[in-house]
Amino acid sequence: MKQHQYESKPLDSKGQINWSDDEHEVWTQLVARQLDCIKGKACREYFEGLELLDLPKNRAPQIPSINRVLAETTGWRLEPVPALIDFDHFFALLASKRFPVATFLRTQKDFDYLKEPDFFHEIFGHCAMLTHPAFASFTQHYGKLGVNASKADRVYLARLYWFTVEFGLIQNDDGLSIYGGGILSSPAETEYAYGSVEPTRKKLDVIDVMRTPYRIDILQPIYFYLSTLDELYELEKLDLLQCVNRAKTLGLHAPLYPQKIA
C-alpha cells in the first residue's frame, strides 16, 4: 500500500503557516484555474461564502483570517491536523464545529489530482459552504451522529457525507449547480458533474444514498441533488441511524463503476 507522501506544516505561535514560494505559486495557479472553471456552475451560496472569505489569489491563505469569517457567520473554525486522522477524531471535530484541515499543499507533480485532501481542497472546496447556516448545521449534526455510531454504521454514514458535503448538487428552477467540495476543488469533476451526459443525477433520498457504493479515485458515476440547501435541515430531522438500519436490511446497490482488479 502506498504511504502518504505529504506531511502537514507546523503553525507558529500566531497560528501562521510558513508557506514557501513554490506553495504560494501552486495556490495561485490552482485558484485561478478553478475560479474560471466554476463560473456559472457553483451554487449562489458558495459564491456568497467565497466573497465573505475574500481568499487571497496570489498567495496561500492563513487559517486565522478564515477563522474570523467562520466565527462571525456560523461559529465554526478550522482545526489544523496531521495529513491523516482517524474517524474518531474526525467525527469529534465536526461535532464541536471544528473542520479538520491538513496544512499541506500539493506539489506541481500532483497539480491535477491528489487522493489526499490537501489545503486547497479543504479551503477552496469547503470553507465557503461552511459560512452557510444549513450546510454548517448539517455538518455538525453529522459529526455528532458519527461520534457514537458503530464502525459498521459509520460506513453507511460516510456515503451520506460523500454524496452531500463532498459531491452534492442542487437542481431547481434556476438549473443545476454545485455545492460539494470534492467537485468544487476539481476542474475535471466540475466539468463532468455539471455538463456531462454520462453520470446519473438523482434526487437525494437518504436510504438510497446510504446504499450507493462509491470510489474515491474516479469521476463519480452518480450524483444526488437537493432542491435547496435548506433541505439539509430536513435531513437533520430524520432518524439517520434508523435509516442506516433500513439501508443495511435492503442491501447495497450494484456499483456503477468497474471493480478494481486485485
Q: Using one digit for the tens of pLDDT, what is the confidence trace for 203-216?
A: 999 999 999 999 99
H or E stretch covering 175? strand 175-178
Q: Binding site annotation covers 45?
A: no
Domain presence at residue 255: no
Domain presence at residue 192: yes
**What's the pLDDT tens digit per position in 135-168?**
999 999 999 999 999 999 999 999 999 999 999 9
Q: How many domains does the chain have?
A: 1
Q: Which residues pair with 15 in a beta bridge?
A: none
Q: Which domain holds residue 69?
A: 21-250
Domain presence at residue 12: no
pTM: 0.95
Beta strands across the sheet bearing 169-172: 175-178, 169-172, 222-226, 200-203
**What's the pLDDT tens digit per position in 75-124?**
999 999 987 899 999 999 999 999 999 999 999 999 888 888 999 999 99
> How far is Cα 224 from Cα 164, in angstroms, rounded to an integer?
7
Query: C-alpha distances in angstroms, 253 versus 174, 202, 256?
Result: 31, 14, 9
* Residues 73 and 135: beta-carbon distance below 8 Å: no
**What's the pLDDT tens digit per position in 121-143?**
999 999 999 999 999 999 999 99
In the predicted structure, residue 183 carries a pLDDT above the cut 90: yes
Domain presence at residue 112: yes
**For residue 73, what is the domain's CATH number?**
1.10.800.10
Instruction: Please count the residues of the chain.
Output: 262
In the predicted structure, residue 182 carries a pLDDT above the cut 70: yes
Q: Binding site annotation covers 166?
A: yes
> How far is Cα 6 from Cα 260, in angstroms, rounded to an integer?
25
Identity of the residue numbered 198: E
Domain presence at residue 4: no
Domain presence at residue 28: yes
Q: Binding site annotation covers 132?
A: no
